[in-house]
Structure 1
Amino acid sequence: MRISVIGCGYLGAVHAACMAELGHDVVGIDVDERKIAELQAGRGPFFEPGLPEVLTRAQATGRLRFSTDLADARDATVHFVAVGTPQTKGSFNADLTYVNAAVDGLLPHLKSGDLVVGKSTVPVGTAARLAGVIEAAGSGATLAWNPEFLREGFAVKDTLTPDRFVYGVSGGEQTDEGAKAAAILDEIYAKALATGTPRIVTDYATAELVKVSANAFLATKISFINAMAEVAEATGADVTQLADAIGHDARIGRKFLNAGLGFGGGCLPKDIRAFRARGDELGLTDTLSFLGEVDAINLRRRERVVTLTRELVGDLQGATIGVLGLAFKPNSDDVRDSPALDVVQKLQAAGATVVAFDPEANETAQRSVPGLTTAASAAEAYSGADAVLVLTEWQEFRDLDPATVAAAVNHKRVVDGRNCLDAAAWRAAGFEVRGLGRP
């Protein structure tokens, strides 16, 4: 099929490349000339494992190209809107400026039978409003909402072989318009559907809620175990063993029960805040008020890491802290709302000298925090440190040899912000070890 993807940020670039990989003819469109130049050269403008290879393969077939001109969407029959919905400055609401602009920009290029497909995460009610905008334009095009469920670091896999498809269509699949939209999406995703991937066809509002409620649930689960970490610290319990024990309960499960520095990135924090703000607009303030505490628990973890560091080091003024990890999660260079980067800034504000290293996020972190001191390696970051902080659980940090680190630091102190180290091995090497929710 002939597809346009509007917005070539994290979501759009991956989606465009993967749609071409599936055999479709795709044009990715974005106003950012630098980003488009990178993509045309087969390079992702961000770190995502597997994306450069998919870009190279797809472009070699001639099925994938990129443009800054929205008019290049006119030859496509399916138009994916994959622009960002950041948090509005000064409030918790989602900023729909880019979504609105993408749809408005598409209107002159739509024709009868075209399908506009929303991928962006939006407040419930947005799709119905945009469907009205498209209908009023009189082109004969229709709208569907097809939320994404990508995990950074696994986005290519999650696009090509997702764990489910959700289609929000006008009136549900029972209507002619809804059935037609679902059939088009079925054709696009035919390869994955052929393997038995679950497919749910529903109305606009439900499709929108699937994404934000899934993120709200995951955020709640993470904050729950971090609340238990606070209890564990007060009682001398071990939150990791606690998570193992309750995780064996099939009703609970072990995933997302890793206590530590908490969640960040471009999705969970802003999505739960936008969901709560939408609840306020719908008169459901009390219903979603628990998300405020989910957010607060998450933010307290960052302060707790600074407190643990101060307990080890004493006065942070003039202390040298080696930080390992800046991205909000491993296998990513994303520092949006990164707990690690937030801790770094808090340490600097307390007077510490911070030398940080991340395998992929040094550059993005420096763009976010000008003047940040980064190292070229983990060894350079921890050399001469008064304390070492592990703030992103990259495998290379998990695999560090404590004896090697011990020979390079000024004082043998480590704060394991992700509970990812073998604490016994580090203590055997002479380190004082502090973790979140661990004795």
Structure 2
Amino acid sequence: MDLYADFCRHTAGVRPGQSLLVAFSGGLDSTVLLALAARLARERGLTIRAVHIAHGLQPAAESWPAHCARVAATLGIHCQTIGVQVALGSRISLEAAAREARYRALAEAMAQGEILLTGHHLDDQAETLLLALKRGAGVAGLAAMPMHKKFGPGQQWRPLLTCSRKVLETFGREQGLSWVEDPSNAADDFDRNFLRNRILPPLLAQWPSFNRTAARSAELCAEQMELALELAEQDLPDLLNPAGGLSVTGLQALSRARRHNVLRHWLQQHQIHCSRSQLQAIWQELALARMDAEPEVRLGQRSIRRYQGFLYLPREGARPRPLDSLKAGKWLHCGVGQLRLSPVTRGADLITELDPGELQLAFGVAGLRAQPAGRAGSRPLKKLWQEYGIPPWQRPHIPLLMQGTKLVAVPGLFVTRDHTPEPDQPGWQLEWLPE
């Protein structure tokens, strides 16, 4: 195959003026990648640079930064070396810890809109799929590695993903490229090495096209994952209440597979990734608990709770910050969100007589009563919290717009009757963006 032509097809979306950042380990894959990217940059007038991540995990790696700098220099490219510390945990492998440290450093090194090129190839894709099977992963895991994805302040591209390692090695030798061999690649203690050294060779000997058919399966799983995401994005809005709670009754109306899909999507929006057994535990212990219960399930450092038929993810770490006075037309941060009061000539939320400098933003004020616009009579705020379905743990984080001791509005929830203008009248627009 014409490797450069294939590389050009997979980088056709690079726009003039965009910058390329090559993740350069010094091994075969990234060396071929750097040579191809250098030619592309020359022909298209692109900015290109390379980064070598030094993990410091083995003595042999001490000479690699100098090697990478020399190889990059012969191609007219500057190579920066970044040292990282690999933090090992009780439930994380050395491979995973090194990968996490590496990608964190690469993301920090990227400029806004830059494209990170990595040297993953067809055999890597097959290994990733087999590892996902070993874990019992769903379609998201079996989709393996995408050709393009958002990453850091830009994107990550894998333009060699359709090329086998054998093709890369042939190209490297024909071009007279020089690369380093990582001694740890021979250690079958690492999962990827075991697959690469012991499993894939006999599979490819028996079925030479195995890595390509495995990659096709990964592509089909990626399509199914996209469909699942589209379905979850359609289902989720109708299941959420204004406080961000997820309706148990709405979930019960869905099929089991569809319920798991939207529940998983809701959790992932909050950076919570859970297993199938954890999803089942959430459903059994939270959704199906008795009606008068307020159960809680812990997932790592986060918790999921139920209140009045809705599931919630309580905010942790956010601290409300009262504001002694407001300024018109300016976004003001209060720890748990942002608020802005802007003058408008019609369609106002608050009456024009209010002076922002005389308003305060408070939290957790006891003993308040309020009459929301359109409601008959005032009620204790505690009763209104219950009517609006605000869980007890959220109430201390709910902003209260005050004028002295008088409640004016609860941003994002209601404005009191005495401070609500007539329709289409001038006044103040009240905007609230929760964290």
Coarse TM-score class (shorter-chain normalised): under 0.3
Q: Flag the structure with higher helix content.
A: 1
Q: Which has the larger radius of gyration?
A: 2
Q: Please give the TM-score of this superposition, normalised by the length of structure 1.
A: 0.27
Q: Please give the TM-score of this superposition, normalised by the length of structure 2.
A: 0.27
Q: Flag the structure with higher strand content.
A: 2
**Using CA pairs below 8 Å that are at least 6 residues apart, which structure has the higher relative contact order?**
1
